Chain A
């Protein structure tokens, strides 16, 4: 069965610090990978996604993620965080197929201090 692990449950950073959030998945076949963000009191929004091609994916608000197939990883990065990046971040995996079901990680709560 597919699963997703996010190792950082709670991260606290100062503004302008660099961010890297880990995501590892278990699935042997072709995968589609996603990072969603949930700002306080809001619903989930897509940050970026990977389907194929260039393993370095750029998303909204300066975020990027790198797919490393050999490590089953899809880590999220941002060179310089802002206070407005305070949110919960979810990694998700989809093995394709007819149902498009997503398996989510447990989330990483990021707090950026001004």
Chain B
């Protein structure tokens, strides 16, 4: 299993540009999550999904959108990039069971200038 994969690894955007961060998992997990990680701030939940077709906002959803058309994929869309969105983005997935463990992807480092 590849686990959770994310593309791209790095990206530089200009203010106002749009992009989609891709996330795919091959573990047949129902639950998927997007976090952003900023220095000294830990991880903040942006959006999450409990299954295909079902998404909901986390702590910091403004400026982002998501969709979940399949179990495997959970892309994160930035419509109008702003400098405040400079961050490292992590996708994670889990299977709601006794373990509750979330498995993380390698991250995407995004810079908006």
A43/B98 contact (C-beta < 8 A), A99-B31, A100-B31, A102-B45 known? no
A-B contact pairs, 23 of them (CB 8 A): A6-B42, A34-B101, A42-B106, A43-B90, A43-B104, A43-B106, A43-B107, A44-B92, A45-B104, A90-B43, A99-B31, A99-B48, A100-B94, A100-B96, A100-B102, A101-B33, A101-B45, A102-B33, A102-B102, A104-B43, A104-B44, A106-B40, A107-B40
Contacting residues of chain B (31-66) with chain A, CB-CB under 8 angstroms:
31, 33, 35, 40-45, 48, 50, 56, 58
Knowing A43-B107, A99-B48, A100-B31 touch, does A105 contact B42 (C-beta < 8 A)? yes
Instruction: Supply 5 further A-B pairs (C-beta < 8 A) apart from A100-B94, A104-B42.
Output: A49-B101, A51-B100, A104-B44, A105-B42, A107-B40
Minimum C-beta distance from B107 to chain A (A) = 6
Complex CA gap A46/B106 in Å reads 14
Question: Can you list, as one digit per residue, whether each of A37-56 has a CB less than 8 Å from chain B (1) or not (0)?
Answer: 00000111110010100000
Contact: B50 with A98, CB < 8 Å? yes
Q: Is A9 an interface residue (CB 8 A)?
A: yes
Task: Give the number of chain B interface residues (Cβ < 8 Å).
Answer: 26
Bound form: Cα–Cα A94–B99 in Å: 11
How close is B54's CB to chain A, nearest CB, in angstroms?
10
Is A73 positioned at the interface, with any CB of B under 8 Å from its CB? no
